[in-house]
Amino acid sequence: MNIPHKHTIHQSQSHFGWNNANKPVVRIAPGESVEFNPLDSSGGQLKSTSTVADIATLDFGKINPVAGPVYIEGAEPGDAIKVTLLSFAPSGWGWTAIIPGFGLLADQFKEPALHVWKYDAQALTPAMYGPGGKVPLKPFCGTIGLAPAEAGTHSIVPPRRVGGNMDIRDMAAGTVLYLPVEVKGGLFSVGDTHATQGDGEVCGTAIESPCSLAAKFELVRDANLKFPRFTTPGPVSRHLDAKGYEVTTGIGPDLWEGTRAAVMGMIDLLSSHHKMSAAEAYMLCSVCGDLRISEVVDQPNWVVSFYFPRAVFE
């Protein structure tokens, strides 16, 4: 990292489930910052040399590790932890996969697939994808949150009231996140770093990429937040707007089915226009396309749109 921080958490200081009984790795005072060095979402099982055969050998007990936890002195239930994401230092490589049984279209894509990415970790120029594709990058953390009040170990896969695996692409440098505290000290952890992702992460993976990151922690007394909220430092999508979008839609009384229809429409469009396989198009949609709920008031049918940035191929 470019800025020295008083505290550092290493890859080995990770855990695989939310549990308020986890022993803190560090204790900090409000106002202090921490450097985190989490593993990627495969827990180090996939590497830059991996092939699609390695998907079949994944140990799902080691998926989505998070670095931490951090105990923030003075934090009590009812407070909020204010987390300022200071910086990201990406590694220069990552992976996107179709994992059988996982993702929005798991019933349509039953075979594993893997794409290993290489990118410039300093310049963060768009990463190449197939013949002519260039995907803009925006490093962020997919999993970021606090320990829940409920006792026991809880899976990191689903997000929850105290944050967790939210996969919000705007958890990037400069964003300020507020997390509701449910246990003394908060017990903050972070991981699942990405080089970029589209809104929805439709195939279940983004550009999963090891990244170091730094964050500053402050305490907001008696915030009584019901759910996390955050503030971005500026525009969140303009870096993909220059060339416009191709947009497909799904319309009907079920938002889930509408979402599936919108994404399947874009997969068909990309496959036919850019001579790629459906699996390649599905993974590309996951890393740079955005799902939007366009209309939910004209019942009984709702509209879901899928926006794919034309800049990727122009």
Mean per-residue pLDDT for 101-127? 97
Whether the per-residue pLDDT at 1 is higher than 50: the answer is no
- The tokens for 244 are 């416009």
Averaged confidence pLDDT in the chain: 96
Calculate the dihedral angle through the C-alpha atoms of 241, 242, 248, 250, rounding to the nearest 10 degrees.
Answer: 20
Q: Going by CATH, does the domain composed of 7-231 fall within 2.60.120.580? A: yes
Q: Where in the chain is the domain with CATH 3.10.28.20?
A: 238-312
Task: Provide the pLDDT for residue 237.
Answer: 78
Q: Pull the structure tokens for residue 213.
A: 């990151």
User: For residues 174 and 143, what is the distance between their CA atoms, to the nearest angstrom?
Assistant: 16
Residue 127: DSSP 8-state: E
Please, which pLDDT band fits residue 50 given cuts at 50, 70 and 90? Answer: very high
Residue 167 token pair? 């996969």
Sequence-ordered list of residues with C-beta below 8 angstroms from that of 8, at least 6 positions apart, any chain: 34, 35, 36, 37
pLDDT of 46 reads 98
Interatomic CA distance for residues 199 and 228, integer angstroms: 17
* Residue 300, preceding peptide bond in cis (omega within 30° of 0): yes
Task: Calculate mean pLDDT across residues 240-254.
Answer: 95
When pLDDT is averaged across residues 6-11 and rounded to a whole number, the result is 94
What is the spatial distance between Cα 94 and Cα 98, in angstroms, rounded to a whole number? 14
CA-CA distance, 193 to 48, in Å (whole number)? 15
- Say if residue 12 is exposed, middle or buried (CB neighbours under 10 Å; 0-12, 13-18, 19+): exposed
Q: Convert the pLDDT of each residue in 30-40 to its tens digit.
A: 999 999 999 99
Task: Say yes or no to pLDDT of 105 above 60.
Answer: yes
pLDDT category of residue 58 using cuts at 50, 70 and 90: very high
| Residues 195-233 as b or e (16 or more Cβ within 10 Å = b) | bbbbbbbbbbbbbbbbbbbbbbbebbeebebeebebeee
Neighbouring-strand partners of residue 216: 33, 84
pTM of the predicted protein model: 0.95
Q: Which fold has domain 238-312?
A: Endonuclease I-creI (3.10.28)
What's the rounded mean pLDDT across residues 114-119? 98
**Where are the CATH 2.60.120.580 domain residues in the chain?**
7-231
Residue with the two structure tokens 């049984």:
101
The secondary structure element, H or E, covering residue 254 is: none
The Cα 143–Cα 145 span in angstroms is 7
